[in-house]
Structure 1
């Protein structure tokens, strides 16, 4: 039997490098990485085989956070060359250290420029999605200051683009304002008083997750527990 021919690895295939970073972060599969970073599996495939410059800065930030790295560290780890193990340097080769140092500095500058470019692209894309909010919100706020009798509900549609953008970034709210829920110390922060797990509390301010990571617990106020049956 002849062994099936396997195609050589593409020059842009970063699968092995990404797997190494995932192992260091305790992530066992690309599906789990997608879930932890709150990005699509297609975007994970783009990191493995596509140009990083085509990815949104926000996606790289979410992936780097899931991998316990900064965005620049992630880019550097993914873009480094996969060179075979080199033989020990002979004495004449030691004189090339200065050129290696210069090459390292050049790569550092290149990575910094790439990081800045991706950051600018992310900012431009975010601003484009927030265009209607930026155009109309402050005008509407000025009208309310001039006429406090204007119904506030007319302002709510202007917040929709911001809410959608935060949702696309993987922001998950904890509860709804004024909702009465069982107290959970992992998700709720008491503003005053005391409560035991399971006691009734009212949410006054939303909390948020970013993917699997807790950003802020929801702020809650304790409520008196209802009397047991038969109690006055």
Structure 2
């Protein structure tokens, strides 16, 4: 037979009242705690606003955090938070995990979290190195392209100069013969000159310019003219016997000049 004394009943009632009062106090205290500013509240509230999260309760539900975990997050107690909880919070706030940890100044004591951060840092460094390599390869590609273009120009120029050197005797005499044929049409070179006409087109294509015209009277310039007598002085009036050529300011061959014009009548028709 169980005997219940009034003292025991009174004790049980007292304990029950204390428990009920404690629960009521906690219910009153929790909203106050939620409303109280913590170290990370300003940042968290700003992120919550950006993602349409109206209050702490909504953040807690979306992140699947306990009351204690939410408090630890707001207070910056990263040592007590689990890695999975931090990952979930970062996901809900649409933030990279590294940004969440850095901005909230959360200490890293969790070995798993530390390993992930080290891995992230390594991947970031590798990405930067790869980016630098790609940039260097791009610059090297541009340099090689420019070098090839320059070599192409140089090879073309060498070919032109080599070809011009071989044709120079003909090119210098040809305009003068043309001039003579104009003055004396019965010369037998007339038919030959028509065959050499494509040379003019070639010189134009290469941008090779004549220095003077046959029989043209000019002022002697030792840079442009080659005299037939050594006593011809600069500034003296002379006649061009055979033209010269220049290319982009470079003198390829000087025009041959004389004090007198050639005697066209001396040419005989064969």
TM-score category (smaller protein): 0.3 to 0.5
Larger helix percent: 2
The one of the two structures with greater contact order (alpha-carbon pairs below 8 A, sep at least 6) is 1
Q: Which structure's CA Rg is the greater one? A: 2
TM-score (norm: length of structure 1): 0.33
